[in-house]
């Protein structure tokens, strides 16, 4: 695994949805570093990727309300655990749960284990509301998948929450999630 500047030299064997991410980032003039790796669908899988990127990839959770009429993509630090009651009170909705893999494909065009802010480029009708833990916004860089979990990119946080979200016509809601990780 090695760190590379920008898109892969060869697009052979790459999925169209991944290439579309690179196309959009390049068109917007957003610089990014990239690494390819084995499928990384969990935060634990991303530990080696984190070392290569020099950052911590955030946890991305695809959620919905009980009626499955409102969908949310939550970006949060990997060391935090989701407390749905705490989050529900801030957005406000009740009874949050994990959305189905089918809905993830339908709205973000990503498979489970590949949830990413980059998937919002596929949500042209704005069915998904982005929620971001305030801690993510304090970091200089964001690490995420380019719609597949066999590559990861490192992008300036201000580019993601500025140029990228503006281009895909999405906004975000800042939330504050408790750090309920075990203390050492």
Class of the domain covering 4-175: alpha beta
- Structural contact between residues 149 and 40, judged by C-beta atoms closer than 8 angstroms: yes
For residue 87, give the 3-state DSSP assignment: helix
- The CA distance from 113 to 143, in Å, is 15
The domain segmentation of the chain, as residue ranges, is: 4-175
Render 140-155 in DSSP notation, one character per residue: SEEEE-SSSTTEEEEE
Question: pLDDT per residue over 48-104, tens digit each?
Answer: 888 888 888 889 999 999 899 999 999 999 888 888 889 998 997 878 999 999 999
- pTM for the model stands at 0.92
């Amino acid at each position: 695994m090695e760190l590379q500047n920008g898109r892969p030299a060869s697009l052979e064997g790459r999925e169209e949805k991944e290439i579309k991410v690179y196309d959009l980032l390049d068109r917007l003039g957003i610089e990014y570093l990239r690494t390819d790796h084995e499928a990384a669908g969990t935060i634990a899988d991303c530990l080696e990727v984190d070392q290569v990127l020099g950052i911590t990839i955030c946890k991305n959770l695809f959620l919905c309300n009980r009626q499955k009429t409102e969908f949310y993509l939550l970006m949060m630090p990997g060391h935090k655990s989701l407390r749905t009651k705490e989050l529900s009170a801030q957005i406000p909705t009740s009874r949050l749960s994990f959305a189905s893999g089918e809905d993830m494909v339908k709205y973000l065009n990503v498979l489970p284990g590949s949830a990413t802010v980059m998937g919002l480029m596929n949500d042209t009708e704005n069915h998904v509301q982005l929620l971001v833990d305030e801690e993510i916004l304090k970091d200089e860089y964001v690490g995420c998948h380019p719609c597949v979990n066999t590559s990861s990119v490192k992008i300036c946080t201000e580019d993601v929450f500025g140029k990228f979200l503006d281009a895909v016509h999405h906004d975000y809601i800042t939330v504050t999630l408790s750090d309920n990780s075990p203390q050492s």
